[in-house]
Amino acid sequence: MSEAQAPLHHRFHLNMGPQHPSTHGVLRVILEMDGEYVLNPQPVLGYGHRMQEKMAEARAWPGFYPNTARMDYAGALHYNHGYCALIERLAGIEVPPRAEYIRVITSELNRIASHLLWYGALLLDLGAFTPILYTFDDREQILDILEDITGSRLTYCYFRAGGVSRDIDDKFVERTRAFITRLRSRFPMLEKLVNGNVIFLKRVEGVGIIDKDMCQRYGATGPVARGAGVPYDVRRAEPYSVYPEFDFEIPVGENGDSLDRFLVRFKEMEQSLRIIEQALDRLPDGPVMAKVPKKLKLSPGDVSFAVEAARGELTYYLISDGTEVPYRMRIRVPSYSNLSVLPELCHGMLLSDLVAAMGSLDLVIPEIDR
């Protein structure tokens, strides 16, 4: 039955969230329903707004380091990286090569941890409990490795303008290489348990199709755009750090459905392992921190810097008036644009399919409500 044919007395409104487990945070979606069909899903934001950008404008630039991790808690090191690189670009700071390699290694470990979290949580949303036990087991290995050098397991504050706060040691290298071997040995099991599971395929195949035009209209990036066949990755399109030195592929989908977005992220984990392996093989000696004044006055002007976060393109934009405190700070986060497709994407689909489609977007709500 079409929306025009649906009798008004058959329609009702349903609140999905802000405490619903499948929204993964304080996201509220108001659903206009016709039976089990969704007619008009409208996201409602702001339940966790913390004024992060205004906080950046109220303190000297080093004081914002911890805030970066509080936006995307699942991929905090990418937010560390973007902010520090922004300051370095404006201040003309040259980062030592070893520090850049360490940034890439730890960022890619964090990307894998984020994808593993999403992988297990999506399957849990769809009613499968077992996969999250495996993915969280693997993710814990990454958190153990990163905790040794960062002192944290989730909201990292490890990068600094000019490098990183602490060097890695032989123990870190050995444990990281062991993890690479471990995760690669797990991929065949996950392929058999989940990726080829007929029940899972029936839930995601052909559901929530996003095409290239929709990506362009809403500014969708990351695995959401790559699942639609758009081979856009900031690490290739606007190369930064030492990513140009590594050989890796950009997985893309063909149909733009929830299955394609799922498979893109799954394949990205192997590409991250490739990057980490190459970085470990070529890891140079030397310092991990440039000489940066404790009180650095940023040059007047404006600057932006983009990185490829776990969910897509993350861009920091800063306007400086020549003091220690940023005059203006704006942050373009990928989840906000990716969520924007939801009303058009899910119009007319079953409520159970909306859970699958929304889960395939891999939303982090504190990133949106920054």
The CATH number for 48's domain is 1.10.645.10
58: in domain? yes
R_g (Cα) of the chain, nearest Å: 21
Contacts of 134 (CB under 8 A, 6+ apart): 120, 186, 189, 190, 193
Per-residue pLDDT at 270 exceeds 80 = yes
pLDDT score at 9: 56
CA distance linking residue 133 with residue 135, whole number of Å = 6
Over residues 283-333, the pLDDT tens digits come to 999 999 999 988 888 889 999 999 999 999 999 999 999 999 999 999 999
Structure tokens at 54: 């205004």
Contacts of range 29-36, beta carbons closer than 8 Å, 24 or more positions apart: 29/342, 29/358, 31/351, 31/354, 33/351, 34/1, 34/3, 34/6, 34/10, 35/10, 36/350, 36/351, 36/352
Q: What is the mean pLDDT of residues 168-175?
A: 96
Per-residue pLDDT at 183 exceeds 50 = yes
Quick check: 232 and 221 in contact, CB under 8 A?
A: yes
3: in domain? no
Q: Which residue(s) pair with 308 in the sheet?
A: 313
Q: What is the mean pLDDT of residues 261-282?
A: 97
Per-residue pLDDT at 165 exceeds 90 = yes
| DSSP assigned state of 341 | T
Confidence of residue 3 (pLDDT cuts 50, 70, 90): low
291: in domain? yes
224: in domain? yes
252: in domain? yes
Q: Lowest-confidence range among 12-16, 205-209, 235-239, 303-307?
A: 12-16
2: in domain? no
Q: What is the mean pLDDT of residues 114-136?
A: 94
Q: Which residue(s) pair with 318 in the sheet?
A: 303, 329
203: in domain? yes
Q: Which domain holds residue 286?
A: 8-368
Confidence of residue 5 (pLDDT cuts 50, 70, 90): low
Confidence of residue 47 (pLDDT cuts 50, 70, 90): confident
pLDDT score at 1: 47
Per-residue pLDDT at 144 exceeds 90 = yes
SS3 of the chain: helix, strand, coil, percent, to 5: 50, 15, 35
Structure tokens at 197: 């599971």
Instruction: Give the chain's domain count.
Output: 1
Quick check: 105 and 280 in contact, CB under 8 A?
A: yes
Residue 310: which of 79, 122, 100 has the closest Cα? 79
Structure tokens at 233: 């990755």
Put the strands of the sheet holding 301-309 in their side by side order: 301-309, 312-320, 328-332
The per-residue pLDDT of the chain, averaged, comes to 92
260: in domain? yes
* Inter-helix orientation angle 351-360/258-281, to 10°: 20
Over residues 52-103, the pLDDT tens digits come to 999 999 999 999 999 999 999 899 999 999 999 999 999 999 999 999 999 9
For 232-271, letters b (16+ CB in 10 Å) and e give bbbbeeeebbbbeebebebbbbebbbbbbbbbbbbbbbeb
